[in-house]
Amino acid sequence: MGILSILLWTPAVGVLLLTLTPGQNSQLIRYIAHLFATLTLLLVCWLLHIYHAENAGLQFNEYFPLNPKLHSAYALGVDGLSMPMLVLATLLTSIALLASLTIANGVKGYHICMLLLEFGMLGVFLAQDWALFYIFWEVTLIPLFFLIGRWGGPRRHTASLNFVLYTMGGSIFMLISLLAISQYDLEHGSSLMSSMHQAARDMPRVEQVLVLLGFVIGFGVKMPIFPLHGWLPLAHVEAPSPISILLSGILLKMGAYGLIRAVVMLPEAAKILQPFLIFLGLFGMLYGGFLAWRQSDLKAMVAYSSVSHMGIVLLGVATLNEAGITGAVLQMSAHGLIAGALFLLVGLLYERTHSRNIQDYSSLIQVMPRFTLLMTLTLLAAMGLPGAVGFIAELHILIGSFSLFADAGSAIGVMAFFSVGVLIGAAYGIRTISLLFTGPSKAAMQSLNDLNASELLAAGILVGGIVLFGLMPSPLLNLSAATISQMNDLISQRIL
């Protein structure tokens, strides 16, 4: 068994042990869940240590045929696109479990679902067979349905059903596209990218466009792309804060990850749909920012800001050039850290006050200085402020968008829309900082406790990553550079 299989099945072993653990022993259940989440994180750290970033291809490949007639296989691999996502998934799972100490009801079922969700997420980023990819994609729906529907807020049943129906509806389009591709003679035993790239050469141009549209809908629901985002605000508001960390921090990235794979494999169709994708990216960026600005519910604000940030990712992917795709991949990591930190801090504040209405707060800097520092840094990073990792990502996407257009007027127009989106992000960020931490002191806020050691550790890791990679982005850029360069070459060969 290779290291990728060990990594993938470690959370599944944890699920098996939890099923055999008595439900009344909450302390042991938490210990087992934390142990296996930590082991998984350590395995990813070891994988990162032995990973060769200069190698653009798949590494640590594992391939075992499952059904020769259907050409399905247990195929795993990792490259510069999936490696950052593996680190992000395991890190945020561990932090989400740290933030789950307040879960008092159904502790056993909750932690089983958490580890099962991690198993599904890892499978999506490791799978190198489309059938296997689709199975893991659907596996993530099961624990999320129960995590939102069982441990969520007052409208949790509506939120969980809404999420599942949206995602399953999108999955139908993705499945249709996969079945359309399967009609062609694929090169089995290779990667997702190379097999679809080979199949695309034999597909008529119209069919390529229809297949890519199916992928855009399927992956766009998860990202989410406007107007496929309807499930997101309600799911985020009603989900427990630890689940919101995973939803925004890593589940949305599954959609972006799949879309990048599909675009690289069907570049001619992507070129035809490029104006449409650019429009969706810019509109989603502005639309999400405006709605975030209008929210009084802190979780709803962060949820709509995710629509805006994922619109930036879509814009980067739609540029079909190296700078834009580099920015999109970097923005996926940046948003995972930023959104994870925001939902974590908002959840910790809600546990103390049982209110998410921003108007209920004022002058928290006096009683919660550590919380104030971390929240302010995260909100500044969400604005794309220089010194934070989000700035580096947005700069690459802006450069990629500008270089896409030979016509100066078109380039200036894209830059104008992009700049307006950044200004809107700054507006809701500054508004939140102002209402939370300044103004007259309220008596109800004077008894609040600041972050304790475990809370400070969890939030500090995320905020530290935001600042560290903002000041020294080279390790994060170099991790994906070779793979992105290879993707850019594949695109250039087909569309030039």
Range with lowest mean pLDDT among 73-77, 82-86, 312-316, 332-336: 73-77
Q: How far apart are CA 216 and CA 484, in angstroms?
A: 20
What per-residue confidence (pLDDT) applies to 496?
67
Span 46-53, average pLDDT: 92
For 422-451, write each residue's pLDDT tens digit: 888 888 888 889 888 887 777 777 788 888
Which position has the higher pLDDT, 224 or 378?
378
Span 76-97, average pLDDT: 93
**C-beta separation of 85 from 332 below 8 A:** yes
For 211-245, write each residue's pLDDT tens digit: 999 999 999 998 888 888 888 888 888 888 899 99
Select from 1, 45, 37 the least CA-distant residue to 17.
37
Confidence of residue 83 (pLDDT cuts 50, 70, 90): very high
What per-residue confidence (pLDDT) applies to 451?
86
pTM (2 decimals)?
A: 0.92
Is the predicted pLDDT of residue 70 greater than 70, yes or no?
A: no
Confidence of residue 122 (pLDDT cuts 50, 70, 90): very high
**C-beta separation of 429 from 383 below 8 A:** yes
Is the predicted pLDDT of residue 189 greater than 70, yes or no?
A: no
Q: How far apart are CA 123 and CA 82, in angstroms?
A: 11
Q: Within 13 A of 73's CA, how many CA atoms are on the CB side?
A: 20
What per-residue confidence (pLDDT) applies to 184?
67
Select from 226, 223, 216 the least CA-distant residue to 247.
223
Q: Where are the domains of the chain?
A: 273-496
Tokens of 36: 């296996």
Span 259-264, average pLDDT: 90
**Virtual CA dihedral for 73, 38, 344, 150, nearest 10 degrees?**
60
Helix (H, G, I), strand (E, B) or coil at 61: strand
Confidence of residue 482 (pLDDT cuts 50, 70, 90): very high
Span 264-287, average pLDDT: 89
What per-residue confidence (pLDDT) applies to 294?
85
What per-residue confidence (pLDDT) applies to 179?
82
What per-residue confidence (pLDDT) applies to 230?
80
Q: How far apart are CA 480 and CA 469, in angstroms?
A: 14
What per-residue confidence (pLDDT) applies to 180?
82
What per-residue confidence (pLDDT) applies to 126?
93
- Which helix (H) or strand (E) covers residue 376, if one does? helix 369-382
Helix (H, G, I), strand (E, B) or coil at 447: coil
For 147-176, write each residue's pLDDT tens digit: 998 888 888 888 888 888 888 888 899 888
Average pLDDT, the chain: 87
Is the predicted pLDDT of residue 66 greater than 90, yes or no?
A: no
Q: How far apart are CA 484 and CA 284, in angstroms?
A: 24
For 287-340, write each residue's pLDDT tens digit: 888 888 888 888 889 888 888 889 999 999 998 888 899 999 999 999 999 999
Give the highest mean pLDDT range of 318-332, 351-365, 390-404: 318-332
Is the predicted pLDDT of residue 191 greater than 80, yes or no?
A: no
What per-residue confidence (pLDDT) applies to 420?
83
For 449-460, write each residue's pLDDT tens digit: 888 888 899 999
Is the predicted pLDDT of residue 193 greater than 70, yes or no?
A: no
- Which helix (H) or strand (E) covers residue 74, if one does? strand 72-78
Confidence of residue 345 (pLDDT cuts 50, 70, 90): very high
